[in-house]
Amino acid sequence: MPLVRLATWNVNSAKIRLPRLLPWLDQRAPDVVCLQETKASDAEWSETYDAELRERGYEVAHYGQGRWNGVALLSRVGLDDVERGLPGEPRFPADDSAPEARALSATCGGLRVTSVYVPNGRTPDDPHYAYKLRWLDALHAMVSDGPTSSSVVAGDMNIAPTDADVWDPSLFVDSTHVTPAERKALESLTGLGLHDVVRDRWPGERVFSYWDYRAGRFHQDQGMRIDLVLVGDDAVGRVRAAWIDRQARKGSGPSDHAPVMVDLDEAPDGDIGPVVPPPTTPAKLPHLG
């Protein structure tokens, strides 16, 4: 397998974001893309977006009901054994209500990739917060039951792993995204051997992936790092670069999230495919771009 570029991006509506998504695919040329908050139904997706993506060489899977949520996977290195949702996932408001489209898995280039849109939680005393924790339990169960070492979990975790991932922790005391229970749930996931490769690569840097649209947050770099690429043991040694594509948050009509990018070197064994030149090292840190 040649070098593989993984990306995850909460696009905040596929319909609105298409004019940003397509050029971004052309420019960044990711091989595997996890999308969240497509806010599209499967019917709308197949009628409106599928062809444009397939023209670009991607196999495509989408899971969405429209209006809210919605996740997708694009891959140019295979897209097999697609699985919608999580086994035993909780539902909201009741366990007999329809599941929300928040997880989509497929095998791409030998990796078991899951695109996730973790519930927001709203506030710690809200029923949505308990639902978030139960949903994270189901995610943990799926990863631990599966081929953990070849797993990649990527998406909008709606959790800032540490206070370093929040622009001003004093403003988020007792807020969702930073509570010990959420962080513990995330740690139990990384405890399975899933590595937060952007933080590993930039241990002391101010790196955010989300900036509220309001109050000029992006302009002041007042954001949070809640979009993660978690890489299992098989691929973590192949990580050649990991960064946040801050450029995609700029300009007109951006999502409030930036894509997270990870380049994997060719697998050490077997057919390594055509020889490719090393990726260009950015002159500046990409996330400061």
Which residues contact DNA (rule: CB under 7 A)? 12-13, 15-17, 39, 66-68, 119-120, 122, 128, 171, 212-216, 222, 253
> 156 catalytic, yes or no?
yes
**Closer CB to DNA, 214 or 284, in the complex:** 214
Q: Establish whether 126 is an annotated binding residue.
A: no
Residue 59 among known ligand-binding residues: no
Task: Determine whether the annotation assigns residue 120 to a binding site.
Answer: no
Q: Which is nearer to DNA, 1 or 224 (CB)?
A: 224
Rounded Cα gap, residues 27 and 23, in angstroms? 6
Q: Which is nearer to DNA, 119 or 259 (CB)?
A: 119
Residue 12 in marked binding region: no
Q: Which of 49, 58, 63, 117 is catalytic?
A: 117
Task: For DNA, give the closer residue by CB, 44 or 266.
Answer: 44
Task: Work out how close the CB of 287 gets to DNA at its nearest, in angstroms, rounded to a whole number.
Answer: 21
The residue annotated as part of the active site, out of 257, 263, 265, 287, is: 257
Is 256 part of any known ligand binding site? yes
If the CB atoms of residues 215 and 288 are measured against DNA, the closer one turns out to be: 215
* 81 catalytic residue (yes or no): no
CB of 200: closest distance to DNA in angstroms? Answer: 26
Residue 257 is a catalytic residue: yes
The catalytic position among 63, 131, 140, 156 is 156
- Which candidate, 123, 104, 137, places its Cα nearest to that of 176? 123
Q: Is 177 annotated as a binding residue?
A: no
Smallest separation, CB 142 to DNA (Å): 21
Residue ranges for the known binding site for Mg(2+) are 10, 37, 156, 158, 256-257
- Catalogue the active-site residues: 117, 156, 257
